[in-house]
Chain A
């Protein structure tokens, strides 16, 4: 039923806008109330990694759905609803807490009077120092921040829960709702497994609350923090030195302020014969030949994309085949819904392997390589966790070579950097430095998959 309507609207759009088979940019299913064309909050870009395949050869294709928010200058500053959840367990005592207070004060300074901010701290128990309040009396927040002192244990789950509750009180469809968690240690009161926090994160995301996690020092659980942020569709950073906290907070708020649209729903429709295999860098669902991915927000400063691996049907005709089309819906910061559809991107099979090779689209290929390399890096971490140090090292070294050769072909400086990173990781696998290294690897993996803006 859904395919029929898709096809009709696609045909309508094809007629209206024209198209290129490989790369489809498209928009506007709705005009603004004035009847004029309204600049959409999001620009959607659907691409295949190549348009030509060798007959009888591999049929794996990658389709990329890219989303970019419209420029900040073109619209008003979004209203914010932020919860700062700060760890004040015993281990934060000293410089860490001092810098955290400093960063929190800085954050208060970045907020506008119409924004809502809540301040939650936790150790063994949770305290709401300032409930979700308009940032009009900044002194109130500064006073509360000055009174944060170190306690004992770490009730991380409770802290996040309480922060979310504060956000819920001011939850609005035209605000950016974000929970920022700062923690330096291991949760030891309440649920403390990465799986538990991941479940919580996914639930919060569905409510429209994004969760950013900042891990401070080398004592926190990076799996927990990364998975919470991944499920919560927020950002994740590994901050080794407390002195970097202000800078990180600054970058996070820039990210928050560059949100262009909220509650994004992507539906990728695969043509008959085309089989979606997996979604590479995000969580989603595959049903009836359709791929569903939801994002909480899209920002203007950075393109976010989803990469889906497809299997094309075997074809010897050489005809142009439909591969996939996308439909994206969102809500802008004024609360108005928008959506866009694309026609099918297309590909064909040929016996000319040279022209098939030339049909590779460098930009998408680069992103595919990055995601494949990120998966390999994750595999290496798993091997090292299992104690298979030698195997882990080999995977990372191979990954580095793979990246280097791809970087040369493209050419891609970004892949070259990641290649060097993998080499360093491979060396660190055998050393005492592994605990710290693992945190930075998780951070890299996360940021590669989500295209974090900082």
Chain B
């Protein structure tokens, strides 16, 4: 089997296989992505629910502190009472109607209040209470809020302040015990995680404003490469706090593994099917080849069988011809027998040569000393009667007289084919010109034989098919005539074997075949 067939066959398998694989990989990726997006949505919803819980708790604190500040009006006794007794309050302070800090004041401040005044310098200068110490709230638009939350940084972290405007009198502020509130959050926060969730696969983390973990659910310890499926930032008073949800890849990529296996199996199946198909086709092809080979062998065998009787016929015809006087009718009859015998011989030779070519067992050149012109004369002798019968004039120019090393049988065969074609197809032209020549170099010379006719010629569209096997052009002329369609194909093969070529020269009328071949000395 030829290499290009193997290559073609391999491509037939590989190209679709690669294509399908690419499709499969792409489909798999898409599917994984879809699963991831679904998981990310679910995670985001979970975080939303937790954020809502936290916001609700903050709302409760807000309500409680609002209630706590009812009835306050700057009275130091009440403010101190709150700070002394309420678990959530570190210090209570009062801003007057103009926004100035009225309580605690530096003169009457006790130990704790002095500490508060020290650290709250930051509170009042941080711009949270700007423009004359009037509290500003992050919310804007609509009526100015009458209460809100602020925070400022001091030492270990942010300090929370709840403030409330009391009519036109001023503002009460509560510096809160942040950890008391955070403890409340910690104790009551319970994310609604479905029971069937495997805790080793996820981690829901609430991180504080410094990025430290405040609360963790789930025992997954994600490595640096695993990014959270969802994150969410929280609102006041948890500004800077975040919720994040990590899910182990195996939880949503597990799907992918099964799909991958499934797809690989499918692709392997396709590959096997293609392979089976290919093998089947190849075997069919091989069968065809084998049968064709058998036919060729058969033909060869037959031709060989034919050759032996034919040789006898020609031999005895020749012997008989020698016994008969020239010019007699018997002699003429014998001439016909000899001519036809030669023609038959040529036909059989063609078939045998073809057979050998097909089997790849072509004979080597048999070089003998001889001259091109001599060979040509011999061939012409054989054809002259036929030509004159058909009214074809033969003009000859022989210019290759030198003794050279040529395969005379080969040259004979080729020239015979050309003349046979001319006789069969170009009789209407009434003229055949034959020309020989050879180059002047001694050792690596070339010789050529040109056979030209004035017949109908070959249509330009048909020229490319001319030298193919079994090709016979269907024209009015040719259909009426016999022929195997092998002549030109074989002739060219033989010409090339002899180091030359057989080409159709471009002519306006008729055909001109140029047969070139190498000649040594």
Contact = CB atoms under 8 A, between A and B. Distances in A.
B87 A203 contact: yes
B111 A200 contact: no
B110 A190 contact: no
Given A158-B215, A190-B215, A202 B177 contact: yes
Contact of A285 (B110, B157, B178): B110
B214 interface: yes
Contacts of B188: 165
B186 A189 contact: no
Residue picked from B88, B187, B188, most chain A C-beta under 10 Å: B187
A191 B187 contact: no
Contacts of A200: 177, 179-180, 183
B219 A287 contact: no
B219 A124 contact: yes
Nearest to A283: B112
B85 interface: yes
B216 A155 contact: yes
B177 A286 contact: no
Among B109, B179, B180, the most chain A Cβ lie within 10 Å of the Cβ of B179
A189 B213 contact: yes
Interface in B164-223: 177-180, 182-184, 186-188, 212-217, 219
Nearest to A199: B179
A200 B109 CA distance: 25
Given A164-B187, A285-B110, A190 B214 contact: yes
Contacts of A288: 108, 110
B70 interface: no
B177 to A, nearest CB: 5
Most chain A CB neighbours (cut-off 10 Å) among B80, B112, B186, B188: B186
Contact of B87 (A155, A161, A206): A206
Contacts of B186: 126, 157-158, 161-162, 190
Given A190-B214, A206-B86, A286-B110, A161 B219 contact: no
B389 interface: no
A100 interface: no
A441 interface: no
A164 B88 CA distance: 14
A161 B178 contact: no
B84 interface: yes
A292 interface: yes
A287 B216 contact: no
A203 B84 CA distance: 11
A197 B156 CA distance: 12
A98 interface: no
B179 A203 contact: yes
A285 B110 CA distance: 7
A151 B87 CA distance: 32
A203 B213 contact: no
Contacts of B183: 157, 160-161, 164, 200, 203
Contact of B180 (A125, A189, A190, A199): A199
A350 B217 CA distance: 70
Nearest to A158: B186
A204 interface: yes
A199 B187 CA distance: 16
B294 to A, nearest CB: 81
A199 B183 CA distance: 10
Contacts of B157: 196
A285 B156 contact: no
B364 interface: no
B113 interface: yes
Contacts of B179: 157, 191, 196-197, 199-200, 203
Contacts of A165: 184, 187-188
A437 B446 CA distance: 114
Contacts of B156: 193, 195-196
A190 B213 contact: yes
B4 interface: no
Interface in A200-234: 200, 202-204, 206-207
Contacts of A124: 216, 219
Interface in A164-192: 164-165, 188-192
Nearest to A193: B156
A152 interface: yes
Given A193-B156, A202-B177, A286 B111 contact: yes
Contacts of A203: 87-88, 177, 179-180, 183
A153 interface: yes
B223 to A, nearest CB: 16
Contacts of A287: 80, 108-111, 113
Nearest to A120: B187
A292 B84 CA distance: 10
B215 A189 contact: yes
Contact of A125 (B86, B110, B217): B217
B214 A191 contact: yes
A204 B177 CA distance: 11
A204 B86 CA distance: 10
Nearest to B104: A287
Interface in A63-93: none
A208 to B, nearest CB: 9
Interface in A115-174: 124-126, 151-153, 155, 157-158, 160-162, 164-165
A213 to B, nearest CB: 15
A168 to B, nearest CB: 9
A195 B155 contact: yes
A162 B85 CA distance: 22
A254 B478 CA distance: 131
Interface string A287-329: 1100010000000000000000000000000000000000000
Interface in A262-291: 285-288
B216 A189 contact: yes
Interface in B141-176: 155-157
Interface string B44-64: 000000000000000000000
Contacts of B216: 124-125, 153, 155, 189
Contacts of A188: 213
A195 B178 CA distance: 11
A165 B212 CA distance: 23
Contacts of A153: 216
B332 to A, nearest CB: 121
A162 B186 CA distance: 7
A197 B177 CA distance: 11
A199 B214 contact: no
Contact of A155 (B177, B178, B180, B215): B215
Interface in B87-133: 87-88, 108-113
Contacts of B84: 285, 292
A124 B199 CA distance: 12
B110 A204 contact: no
Contacts of B155: 195
Contacts of A204: 87, 180
A126 B156 CA distance: 25
A224 B213 CA distance: 18
A287 B179 CA distance: 26
Contacts of A164: 183, 187
A214 B186 CA distance: 22
A351 to B, nearest CB: 35
Nearest to A278: B111
22 contacts: A125-B216, A126-B186, A151-B219, A158-B215, A160-B183, A161-B187, A165-B184, A165-B187, A188-B213, A191-B182, A196-B156, A196-B157, A196-B179, A197-B179, A199-B178, A199-B179, A199-B180, A200-B180, A204-B87, A286-B111, A287-B109, A292-B84
Given A189-B213, A199-B177, A286-B110, 14 more contacts: A155-B216, A161-B183, A161-B184, A161-B186, A188-B213, A189-B214, A189-B215, A190-B213, A195-B156, A200-B180, A204-B87, A285-B112, A287-B80, A287-B109
Interface of B: 80, 84-88, 108-113, 155-157, 177-180, 182-184, 186-188, 212-217, 219
4 interchain residue pairs of minimum CB distance: A287-B110, A203-B180, A161-B183, A165-B187
